[in-house]
Amino acid sequence: MRPKTLTAAVIPVIVGTSLAAGSHTIVWKWFVLALLGALFIQIGTNLVNDVADFRKGTDTADRLGPLRVTQAGLLTETQVVRGAIVAFSAAVLCGIPLVMHGGAPLFVIGVTSLAAGYAYTAGPWPLAYHGWGDFFVIVFFGVIAVSGSYFLQTKTIDTGSILAGVSVGCLAAVLIAVNNLRDRDGDLISGKKTLAARFGSRFARVEITTLALAPFAIGSWWLLNGHPLPFYLPLLALPLAWAIIRSAHRDAGSALNTTLGKAAALHALHGILFSLGVAIQ
């Protein structure tokens, strides 16, 4: 289930809800259901990815990244697929009351999120295998997750929720970009056409730099609109962003696993600091 990466599902819901708290009374049952639904979708996506990468020959004994249970033989393909079905089914159960509350927009969000979670590495045209994984993460684990959580509480979507979603999504995509930089050589062999595989390591390092710094630039929107804390507090995470950038430009192969952990920490830290800034502004 890759628990160290599950903050990618948690942080967008916290950020979207914190934005709503400034002008609305928070209904905590919607927050909890949205949080659980997001977690189950990510877990299902991770399990499908585990099986799909093994079947496509991307995960082999020479894998540089963290252990994958299907490739390692710890679980069978059937067991992992069943786990994915359970996770996606749990997400649907969480989503039913959310759709009843939020109507058609929440139905569309739920269906497209489930479909994209499966299509990330599986199906006839897997997104990650055609270079769309980074964009997928920015859209679904950023813009849609944050603005959807905001919509649940307010029944509206505004510029702030969309920009916050882009920021959260960019930092989630740093994980994907670091992962793809580390696995570039193996992906070239297996035919996985990530952006790093298509355009090279130098492009991947520039991408990581851009994605890691973009949220700090986007944060200036709150400063310009009279809300300084959502801009200044996240700046405390800037040294960690710089450490990730330095590592991406210096390291390669399995050494980037540490960078991957730092990317997850940056995503969580920036999101928490931003949410605190919004809450106490």
Residue 79 · residue 69 · CB < 8 Å: no
Determine if residue 122 is left, alpha or beta; phi over 0 gives left, psi from -120 to 50 gives alpha, anything else beta.
beta
What sign has the CA pseudo-torsion 107, 110, 113, 119? negative
**Better pLDDT: 55 or 11:** 11
CA dihedral 133, 45, 101, 32 (to 10 degrees): -110
pLDDT tens for each residue of 114-140 = 999 999 988 888 999 999 999 999 999
Percent of the chain with pLDDT over 90: 81
* Domain around 152: 3-280
Please provide the average confidence, as pLDDT, over all residues in the chain: 93
Report pLDDT for 150. Answer: 97
131-135, 186-190, 200-204, 246-250: range with lowest mean pLDDT: 186-190
| C-alpha 178: how far from chain center | 13
- Domains contained in the chain, number: 1
pLDDT tens for each residue of 55-112 = 888 777 766 777 889 988 999 999 999 999 999 999 999 999 999 999 999 999 999 9
pLDDT tens for each residue of 242-273 = 999 999 999 988 899 999 999 999 999 999 99
Report pLDDT for 63. Answer: 67
Name the nearest CA neighbour of 228 among 271, 278, 187, 269.
278
- pLDDT tier at 2, thresholds 50, 70, 90: confident
Query: In the predicted model, what is the mean pLDDT of residues 185-213?
Result: 94
pLDDT tens for each residue of 227-242 = 999 999 999 999 999 9
Report pLDDT for 125. Answer: 87
CA dihedral 262, 265, 267, 269 (to 10 degrees): -130
224 burial level (CB within 10 Å; 0-12, 13-18, 19+)? exposed
